[in-house]
Structure 1
Amino acid sequence: MKTEKIVPGLNGYLIISIFLFVALALSVFYYNRPEILVPVLVLLFLIVVTGLVIVTPNNAKVLLLFGNYKGSISQSGLFWVNPFYRRIGISLRARNFESEKIKVNDKLGNPILISVILVWKVKDTFKASFEVDNYENFIKVQTDSAVRKLAGSFPYDHFEDERATITLSTNFDDVNMALEQEIVDRMEMAGIDVIEARIAYLAYAPEIAHSMLRRQQASAIVAARHKIVEGAVGMVESALTLLSEKQIIELDEEKKAAMVSNLMVVLCGDRETQPVVNAGTLHQ
């Protein structure tokens, strides 16, 4: 596999200066022979003009001689090359590519919508020009393929796979690193430098989004209830301990059970409790 070959190119200003000097010398030497002077000057002018190449910053020119690759000029400026060279311009600027939202299945088979943003630029003009048919279309297709592979390698979240160490919705840095490495491997043959790759959009597909939202809400409620119960048990335990230590009241096991039940109802209930005033004795 060939790679890029950088050729310096002759200084265009120097070639123009030499042409002017030669033209002046010929004009003096063949001053009285216009039938020779004019054709020679026209030929020299055409050779000089057709060989000039202007390269703007962050651009390159790929040079071909009758189908053979001769090199690339990546330095900006005015240059002179063989007039028979064919020049193909390629931009070396960094460019953004945002993929469309595609529907794929995650590791557990759940349909999700995902899109990515890719920042890239050409680093090897030979590979970009001749190793792939159309490097911009190649980038689009390979990025979509990398996204599909990435989505199938990780679950969307921890709800269905609690043992998963990396998920698409939580471990963004790890997922983006895996995505970038996958795209880098695919773009190597096209001479593309991947500057950054990251997920731009991630969500469940519409047909399961509502069900997944209800599941997440239920999980959040269960987790909140678990925390409330833990706190209530601690508070009840603390209350019984203080009553016992300060000997405020002696409670048998039955009254302790009733007190624990009442306190748990008060602390764990999702509605405001209505106080009941006992006007009799402890036993009534």
Structure 2
Amino acid sequence: MSTTTSPTPESGGPVEGTARPGRLIRNEATTEIPVHLLFRDDPQPAPVPLRPAVVARRQGTGEQPRLRRPAQPRPGSAVEVDPDLVERPARVLPGAAGVLAGVCGAAGCLVTSWWAGLLPPLAAAALPTAPGAGLGAAQWAAYAGAVALGLFGLGGLARGRTGRAWVLGLFGRYRGTVRRTGLMWVNPLLLRRRVDVRLRHWRSEPMPAADRNGVPLRVVTLVVWRVRDTARAALAVEDHETYLRQCVEAALARVPVEMPGGGARGSAETAGDALTRLVAADTAPVGLEVFSVRPVRAEYAPEIAAAMHRRRIAALDAERRAHVLTSVVDSVEDTVTRLTMRGLVALDDYERKVLVRDLTVAFCAGRGETGP
């Protein structure tokens, strides 16, 4: 494994008059590293050029060199949506442009009728003498242009409302969103989809959930949300309201919800915060902004409601009995102590036990008749 070499300036070793053996560390899968370079005393060693390590094949095995594949990025847990699908303003014109086009179309039809001599006598008397050319190819073309202009102008009129937006598309391609209010003109060839962008409150129907012990529940939640990106809300999913409902149901399956008064203090707020984070993260890629998801009512599932009701009654009854027993014991102790301290009776241990038993029975009987 070792050979006798003479150090050179290129290798960074000391140059001496006598030859110095330089041992090398060799391996089939690594480069050659001179041993004396690892234990040099030179305070400022010269840089040693290093060759890139290559994973070579093992000799005599026929194994091919192993190539390291670059690590593939793990897909994120969030929903992936087309990054180009982002809301942008659409090109629209004021409503006056559509009205003007409609008026020009009506005026064109009137002028063409006068040109063809088709106006009624009363209207023709107030106008200059018509040429009376009749309905020819030119007149029909003028009629078609005027009607098309009028329909194109009046057909594109739209009214924008506060809290509503129009998502425009042409032949399946997103062309922009209109959030303007008032009268405006939109290209009538574009497909319009109305989207509600107001702040909305949705009270869900009873949804399946569970508490920390796995007991099935039915929970009603109140969701405060709105549409933030109209393009994704209208085009990324088939129905964004249904998608929101399913996200809330999926979050309830992952977050435990406690019954009112049955969990620790602040458990309802903790569950609401966890539900809000989960639903907001699931709905953000489709253009929805969720502000809060709060459970407003929780009840046991029908299949275990009767059993849990009996269990609750038994717990209340046990609590009442413990309270009654504590009160009886305190009363007996107070009575025996007073009788002994005032010297009204002198009791030994046996008599004291008998008195305590009799008083306990009497107090328990009285409690049972009058109630706690």
Calculate the TM-score normalised by the size of structure 2.
0.57
Greater shift after overlay, 244-253 or 19-28?
19-28
| Residue 3 (structure 1) aligned to one of 77, 82, 86 | 86
Aligned partners of 1:230 and 1:59: how far apart in 2? 66
Give the equivalent residue in structure 1 for 2:326: 230
More strand, by proportion: 1
Query: CA, structure 1 residues 95+238, in 2 after alignment: closer, same or farther (shift >3 Å)?
Result: closer
Deviation for aligned residue 1:119? 5.2
Q: How does 1:121-270 map to 2 (within 5 A)?
A: 121-150=226-255, 153-154=256-257, 165=264, 171-194=267-290, 197-199=293-295, 202-269=298-365
Q: How does 1:27-38 map to 2 (within 5 A)?
A: 35=139, 38=143
Amino acid at match of 1:60: A
Aligned partners of 2:216 and 2:98: how far apart in 1? 63
Give the equivalent residue in structure 2 for 1:90: 195
Find the structure with the greater CA-based Rg: 2
Deviation for aligned residue 1:210? 3.2
Aligned partners of 1:157 and 1:12: how far apart in 2? 55
Deviation for aligned residue 1:246? 3.4
Deviation for aligned residue 1:79? 0.9
Query: CA, structure 1 residues 3+97, in 2 after alignment: closer, same or farther (shift >3 Å)?
Result: farther
Percent of aligned pairs with the same amino acid = 26
Deviation for aligned residue 1:62? 0.5
Aligned partners of 1:239 and 1:95: how far apart in 2? 62
Deviation for aligned residue 1:131? 1.6
Amino acid at match of 2:362: V
Deviation for aligned residue 1:254? 2.9
Greater shift after overlay, 66-75 or 264-273?
264-273
Aligned partners of 1:223 and 1:23: how far apart in 2? 87
Are 1:99 and 1:117, in contact at CA under 8 Å, matched by a contact in 2?
no
More helix, by proportion: 1
Deviation for aligned residue 1:125? 1.1
Deviation for aligned residue 1:255? 2.8
Greater shift after overlay, 232-241 or 193-202?
193-202
Q: Secondary structure at the match of 1:203?
A: strand
Higher relative contact order (CA 8 A, sep 6+): 1
Superposition CA RMSD, Å = 3.8
Greater shift after overlay, 19-28 or 188-197?
19-28
Aligned partners of 1:190 and 1:272: how far apart in 2? 66
Give the equivalent residue in structure 1 for 2:44: none
Query: CA, structure 1 residues 254+88, in 2 after alignment: closer, same or farther (shift >3 Å)?
Result: same
Calculate the TM-score normalised by the size of structure 1.
0.71
Deviation for aligned residue 1:244? 3.8
| Residue 62 (structure 1) aligned to one of 167, 170, 194 | 167
Aligned partners of 1:195 and 1:245: how far apart in 2? 68
Amino acid at match of 1:4: E
Aligned partners of 2:158 and 2:165: how far apart in 1? 10
Amino acid at match of 1:88: R
Aligned partners of 2:270 and 2:341: how far apart in 1? 53
Aligned partners of 1:136 and 1:157: how far apart in 2? 28
